[in-house]
Amino acid sequence: MHSLAPAKPSFKEQMLAAREEAIMESVNRLLAEKGFDAMTVDEVAASVGIAKASLYKHFPSKEDLAAAAMVRVMRRARDFLANIEPALPPLDKLKATVRWMLSVQLAGQMPSLPTQNSSLRAALAGSREYIDALLDISDRLGGWIEAAQAGGHVNAGLPPIAVLYTLYARACDPVLEFLKAGGQHSDEQITELVLATCFEGLKAR
C-alpha cells in the first residue's frame, strides 16, 4: 500500500507564506527597535511594501501582529531548548538558555512588548501555540532550576518561580542596550558581563 505524499503548496499558498514571513521579519525588527507602543501598522506595511489593507488580511490588528511575533520567538526558544546537550549540568543548561536569549536581543530579533496592555495580553492569551510554548518552556526551565538548587548551584532559598522570572527578564534587559551604546564592549563581552551579574550577582568574591 502506497503512502500518500503531502500535497505540495500551491503557488498562491507559497506567496502568502513568503509574505507572512516578510511581515514577521519586519514586525520583529520594529518591535525590537521601537517597542509595541511606538510601532504602527502603517510602518509595518510600508516596510514590507504592501498596502495596509493587504496586511490586515493576514493579521487583523496590531496586537495580532505582536502576538504572532512572540509565537515565532517562542517557537525558536523551544527548538533551542530541545537541542541543548542533555548531559550538561542543570546550571550550564540555564546559562546556555540565557546566553541564547541575550544573543537574540543583541541581534535585534527580540520583540519589545509592554508589561501592561490588556488588548495585547488578550491576543497572547488567545494564542494556543503561545500558551503551550510558554508552559513547555517554563516547565523545562523550572526543572533545571530545581535541580540546580538541589545541587547547591542556585540559591535554594529563592522560590523557583522568582528565579524563572529573573531569567525571563534577561530577554528584555536594558543593560544590553546601555552597554552596546557605550561602544566599549563587543556583543560577546556584553553577554558574558550580563551572565556574570545574573548568575553570580554583584557581591565581591
The pLDDT of residue 196: 94
* 190 occurs within a structural domain: yes
Q: Give residue 138's Cα distance to chain centre.
A: 13
The overall pTM is greater than 0.85: no
The answer to which of 12-21, 28-37, 66-75, 95-104 has the lowest mean pLDDT is 12-21
- Residues 194 and 174: their CA atoms lie apart, in Å, by 11
C-alpha cell at 47: 516596510
* 50 occurs within a structural domain: no
* 46 occurs within a structural domain: no
- Residues 28 and 44: their CA atoms lie apart, in Å, by 10
* 15 occurs within a structural domain: no
* 42 occurs within a structural domain: no
Provide the residue range defining the domain that includes 143.
62-200
Torsion angle, alpha carbons of 115, 121, 127, 132, to 10:
50
The CA R_g of the chain, rounded to the nearest whole Å, is 20
Q: Is residue 3 predicted with pLDDT exceeding 60? A: no
* 175 occurs within a structural domain: yes
Q: How many domains does the chain have?
A: 1
Which residues, 6+ apart, have CB-to-CB distance to 67 below 8 Å?
120, 123, 124, 126, 127, 130
* 48 occurs within a structural domain: no
| 8 A C-beta contact, residue 139 and residue 164 | no
Q: Is residue 8 predicted with pLDDT exceeding 80? A: no
- Residues 40 and 78: their CA atoms lie apart, in Å, by 29
- Residues 199 and 167: their CA atoms lie apart, in Å, by 9
* 93 occurs within a structural domain: yes
- Residues 182 and 96: their CA atoms lie apart, in Å, by 25
Sign for the CA dihedral angle at 188, 194, 198, 204 comes to positive
Q: Give 116-170 pLDDT, tens digit per residue.
A: 778 888 888 889 999 999 999 999 999 999 999 999 999 999 999 999 999 999 9
| 8 A C-beta contact, residue 135 and residue 117 | no
Count Cβ atoms below 10 Å from residue 173 Cβ, excluding itself. 18
- Residues 205 and 193: their CA atoms lie apart, in Å, by 16
- Which CATH number do you get for residue 115? 1.10.357.10
